[in-house]
Every structure is written in C-alpha cells, then in structure tokens.
A and B are shown apart, each in its own frame.
Chain A
Amino acid sequence: MDYLGFLFAANAFVWGGIIYYVFTLKQRNRALEKDLELLKETLSREG
C-alpha cells in the first residue's frame, strides 16, 4: 500500500495548524505592544 498523498496531507495540516497558531500569537503580541505604547504616550502627555 502506498498512500503518500495522505501522509503529505496530514503533515501539511499539522504544520499548517502549528504555524498558523504561532502567527496569531505573534499578531496578538504586536497588538498588545501597540496598546502599551499608546498607553505610555497618553500617560506621559498627562504627566
């Protein structure tokens, strides 16, 4: 039996899933950093 296509598909989903999740974590990090920067600016403006 040779089902290389199935093995490839399963691998693609696993790696795709992990990479997608890591990417969303990076995006969330960037959003939080942006939020923090804005907050710091507001605080420094208000003294």
Chain B
Amino acid sequence: MMSSDAVEENEEESSILVWMTGLAFLAAIIAIFIYVPTERTEGVVQRIMYFHIPSAWLSFFAFFVVFICSILFLWKKEREWDIYAHASAEIGVIFCSLVLITGPIWARPIWGAWWVWDARLTSTLILWIIYVAYLMLRAQSEAGSMRARYAAVLGIVGFLDIPLIHFSVLWWRAFHPQPKVISSEGIGKGMEIGMLATLGISLCAFTLLYFLLMGVRVRQEKLKDEIDRLKRETLYSS
C-alpha cells in the first residue's frame, strides 16, 4: 500500500492539475466564444472545430498510449502497463465517441448530410469499434494474464488504423477537409493566427484533461487490485 506521504503528494499533484485544467478550459471557452473571429464561409458553426479537433487529438493520443503500454506489457509482463493501457483505452473511447458525435453535427449544415461513408469518417468509426471491442473483451472475460495479453494484442492492432485515418484524406477522394494544422505547407500555415491560437489553447486544455483523467483511472485500478489482493488473503486465512 502507498505511504501517507506518497498519498498526500499525489493529492497535491492532482489538485494542481485540476486547477491547471480548469484554467485552461476557461481560457479555451473565452477564446472560442469571445476572442476568435467567425469564419467567413461556414459562419458560427465552424467553432465546433475547437472541440472536434482536440477531442480527436485526445483520443488518438490515448490510443497511442494504449499501443505503447500494450507493447511494454507484452515485453515486460508487468501489470502496471496493463493498467495504463486499460485506463487510456477507456478515455480514448469516450473522446472518440465525442468526435463521432460532433463531426456529424458540424457536417449537417455544411455538407447537407449527417454522415457520408467517406474514408476518414469510416476509418474513424472502425477505430471506435475496435477499442469498444477492446473494452468489451476486458469486461467480459475473467481477470488474468490471458485477458491482458489478448487485450494488448487488440490494443496494438487497433492503433494501426490511426495512420490510415490521417492519410485517408490525402490518399482518397474525401468529403472531409484536408489537414490544416499539419499540412504540406507546414505546421499551422493553413490557418489564421487567431484561430490557430484558439485551437492551441483548446488542445492544451484537452491534453491536461487527459492526464487528469488518467491519474484518477490509474489510481482506481491500483486500488481495485489492492482490494482484490486483500480479499484473497482474507479468504485464504479464514
């Protein structure tokens, strides 16, 4: 079990992170609704971008963490990496769901359709299905190293869809706009400076939120492990 000093230090760190995340979101909301100019062709609905892209970034980052931690788990066989992968996959699925919800809401007034079977939209939906399957596999099968191993393999395979999502708009004809933040012209060259700054603040806020949620989820999983261990010990001793 963690010592009381370590617990106090942990609580202090997470309260700092809570404040930083809160302030970053406050700055993002002010920038999105007050500071940033309204886009000329799409109008006010374009402001959805400042939630849509950071949600996509957060989910891709979360799945990248799943990918790395799954490799480390298969290599080192340490439960710690499995905990990180599980926690990150859950957060990734939440934010990937938000991408799949905010995307159609943005698309409806611009494209005239909620959904098109475009390469980027379809590959993002596939990514979401893979990681929902990952969470279902973890929830349905019995705890143990086999479950963790199967989940790790799925976590690695699922991540291979992300480069496909990124390059899909460049490789195939797509409805989805081409990348503007990281484009062939350079980083941020395809956007007006105010829009880029607002997107940057929003990306920062979502990234901080990811670390905050990860901290909570990892602590929960570790506590659950500790409780299970104590329960087993009590059962055997009685």
Interface residues of A (CB under 8 A from B): 1-4, 6-7, 9-11, 13-14, 17-18, 21-22, 25, 28-29, 32, 35-36, 39, 42-43, 46
Contacts and interface: CB of A to CB of B under 8 A. Distances in A.
B228 to A, nearest CB: 9
B216 A2 contact: no
A25 B213 contact: yes
Given A1-B109, A18-B209, A39-B231, 6 more contacts: A2-B43, A13-B101, A14-B98, A17-B101, A25-B213, A35-B227
A43 B87 CA distance: 30
Q: When A and B form their complex, which 3 residue pairs have the shortest distance between CB atoms, in order from nearest?
A: A1-B43, A3-B45, A10-B48
Contact of A25 (B45, B108, B216): B216
Contacts, number: 72
Contact of B230 (A2, A7, A18, A39): A39
A17 B47 CA distance: 18
A43 B230 CA distance: 9
Nearest to B90: A21
B131 interface: no
Interface string B90-105: 0000100110011001
B45 A7 contact: yes
Contact of B220 (A9, A14, A25, A39): A25
B51 A32 contact: no
Category for how many chain B residues contact A: 20 to 34
B20 to A, nearest CB: 16
A13 B220 contact: no
Interface string B187-217: 0000000000000000000000100010011
Contacts of B220: 25, 28-29, 32
Contacts of B237: 46
A6 B209 contact: no
Contact of B223 (A7, A9, A11, A32): A32
Contact of A17 (B94, B106, B217): B94
Contact of B102 (A1, A10, A36): A10
A39 B47 CA distance: 50
A14 to B, nearest CB: 5
Contacts of A3: 43-45, 109
B227 to A, nearest CB: 5
Nearest to B48: A10
B105 to A, nearest CB: 4
A13 to B, nearest CB: 5
